[in-house]
Amino acid sequence: MSSELPAENEAWMHKGFCADSPYADLWFPTEGVESAAYCESLCGGCPVRVACLRYAIDHPELEGIWGGLSARQRRLIRRDRNASCGTYGGYLKHRKADEEACDECKAANAHRSRLKRQKRSANAA
């Protein structure tokens, strides 16, 4: 796995539980394969899990299980982290933080709701 990555990252990568695994393909499961659950559980106790996850979040091109999360799970983290006020993502970010949304985010949510209603009524016609 580390042969395709920059050399400055190899020091922590060699300490990962996956580094010595004879089953490298397990960390790159196809849809619906049970190996994902196995890898995610193994990553849970890995001494470099946080560094691995941080690296994978900062490198969106990476596929497979990194830091215990799939590529899809990491995309959701990046989306939430990059959500800005005045967008629907910003509105969701307020909601996840259990805080009242700012006026710009409320307006974005209202706009999205209007578009969804329009689309539903157009599809019903």
Q: What's residue 119's pLDDT?
A: 86
Q: Which residue has 């209007």 as its token pair?
A: 114
pLDDT (0 to 100) of residue 34:
65
35-91: pLDDT as tens digits: 677 787 888 889 999 999 999 988 888 888 999 888 888 988 888 777 888 888 888
pTM value is 0.60
CA within 13 Å, CB half, 50: 1
Structure tokens at 24: 């490298």
